[in-house]
């Protein structure tokens, strides 16, 4: 139990999984798509995996994997995580635990117009290249 608690508290988001579990894969994918990079502990590849699996069952995780911890707190298994995602609270939990950060919308510091590209080494437009036969177009592209 102590090892599970220790590992669960080392990172903002932690998932205990098994490499052959399709629901574990789905939960990991969900976290990645939400912008989180959880610590993943594959119980079937860890020498203490069986002990950790028993500890997870003692916490009430049945089945034992995936077992998700956010901010060091046990959140639940796949059905719990999916329910949180559906009601919109999973993302907020990840934000609160600093497992994901939301980037501020930064406006472009200058307008993107043709006038900002006067220093471009390319002159003219691509229209003259497109009008040339393929062999001439290839030569024209190399000249630029």
Give the model confidence (pLDDT) of 36-67 as tens digits.
999 999 999 999 999 999 999 998 888 889 99
Give the span between the Cα atoms of 139 and 141, in whole angstroms: 5
For residue 2, the model assigns a pLDDT of 87
Q: What does pLDDT average to over the chain?
A: 80
**How large is the angle between the packed helices 22-33 and 78-86, nearest 10 degrees?**
30
Q: Write down all domains in the chain, each with its CATH number in brackets.
A: 3-97 (3.40.30.10)
Q: How many CB atoms lie within 10 A of CB 63?
A: 16
Q: How many CB atoms lie within 10 A of CB 48?
A: 13
Q: Identify the bridge partners of residue 17 per DSSP, sorted by sequence position.
A: 42
For residue 132, the model assigns a pLDDT of 47
For residue 78, the model assigns a pLDDT of 93
pLDDT beyond 60 at 119: no
Angle at 76 between CA 16 and CA 19, to 5 degrees: 25
Parallel, antiparallel or unpaired: strands 39-42 and 13-17: parallel
């Amino acid at each position: 139990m102590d090892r599970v608690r220790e590992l669960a508290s080392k990172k903002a988001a932690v998932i205990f999984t098994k490499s052959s579990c399709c629901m574990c894969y789905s939960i990991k994918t969900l976290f990645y798509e939400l912008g989180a990079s959880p610590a993943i502990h594959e119980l079937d590849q860890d020498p203490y995996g069986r002990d950790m699996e028993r500890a997870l069952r003692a916490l009430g995780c049945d089945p034992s994997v995936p077992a998700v911890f956010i901010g060091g707190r046990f959140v639940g298994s796949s059905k719990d995580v999916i329910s949180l995602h559906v009601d919109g609270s999973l993302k907020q939990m990840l934000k609160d635990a600093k497992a994901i950060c939301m980037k501020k919308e930064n406006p472009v510091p200058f307008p993107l117009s043709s006038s900002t590209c006067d220093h471009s080494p390319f002159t003219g437009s691509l229209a003259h290249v497109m009008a040339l036969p393929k062999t001439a177009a290839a030569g024209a592209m190399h000249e630029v």
